[in-house]
Amino acid sequence: MDNVPRLSEVLYVGLCRKIGTPTEVAIRRDVMDMDEMIKKPFFNHRKSAVMLSGSNREGFRLRSSDVDRMFWFSNHKLITDISQSRLYNSSKYIFVLMEDSDTPPGFVRLRLLTPSRQTFMTSCLVPCSDDVYISSRLWRESFFQSLHKKGFNNKFSKIHGPCSSGFNTAFEFDEVLCFASFPWPKLLGSWVDRCQRHTWPSATALEKNP
């Protein structure tokens, strides 16, 4: 047992060398925060948004780490009840309704409530009865093809679940085109309650409007 403190110290030093010291990790997170803040006006002008996530965003630098990014159209609002559309200016936003009735667990239908002038969006729509829905297959394929046009078109690129995965020069990436929802969908109520009981993530993070 006398060697335990020594082993702990060696392990700590090894981890610091492998992923960075606590100070280095904190600095990387701050740099990421500043980068997002600087770029936000640019993305707002383009009516789009991007969020980096995963180990890279948290400041860790491992050889096996990939870059995880989420994109969404900031002028498209995902709502779970039609009454929520009153929270926004209907002349500025396109509304997408999440329907979770008569769907398998973990799956929903996305119905477009108002016409969209976004070409990418219109290419992913399928009619159903008198309504129009977003096809998840067309959505994934269209986003994957848009990345190909940007040069991410090597033999390792593929559609992996909801993501487009591949390699860009020196790093691996997983990118997904999403819809931002605020407030939290009712479907995630139990998850939010669990987070609040354990105070992680923080209440500020849970209440943050995307």
pLDDT in tens, 119-151: 888 899 999 888 999 999 999 999 988 877 766
* Rounded Cα gap, residues 108 and 43, in angstroms: 28
Instruction: Let me know: does 192 contact 208? Beta carbons within 8 Å.
Output: no
Taking all residues of the chain, what is their mean pLDDT, rounded to a whole number?
A: 83
CB neighbours of residue 140 within 10 Å: 19
- Residue 160 domain-assigned? yes
Residue-level pLDDT at 173: 81
* Rounded Cα gap, residues 64 and 101, in angstroms: 39
* Rounded Cα gap, residues 144 and 165, in angstroms: 9
Of 167 and 154, the structure prediction assigns the larger pLDDT to: 167
CB neighbours of residue 119 within 10 Å: 8
- Residue 204 domain-assigned? no
- Residue 192 domain-assigned? no
| Total domain count, the chain | 1
Q: Is a pLDDT exceeding 80 seen at residue 176? A: yes
3-state secondary structure the chain: CCCHHHHHHHHHHHHHHHHCCHHHHHHHHHHHHHHHHHHHHHHHHCCEEEEEEHHHHCCCCCCCCCEEEEEEECCEEEECCHHHHHHCCCCCCEEEEEECCCCCCCCCEEEECCCCCCHHHHCCEEEECCEEEECHHHHHHHHHHHHHHCCCCCCCCEEECCEEEEEECCEEEEEEEECCECCCCHHHHHHHHHHHHHCCCCHHHHHCCC
- Residue 210 domain-assigned? no
CATH number at residue 174: 3.30.460
- Residue 28 domain-assigned? yes
pTM to 2 decimals?
A: 0.76
- Residue 190 domain-assigned? no
- Residue 191 domain-assigned? no
- Residue 12 domain-assigned? yes
pLDDT in tens, 38-52: 988 888 878 888 888
Residue-level pLDDT at 1: 47
- Residue 119's domain comprises 4-183
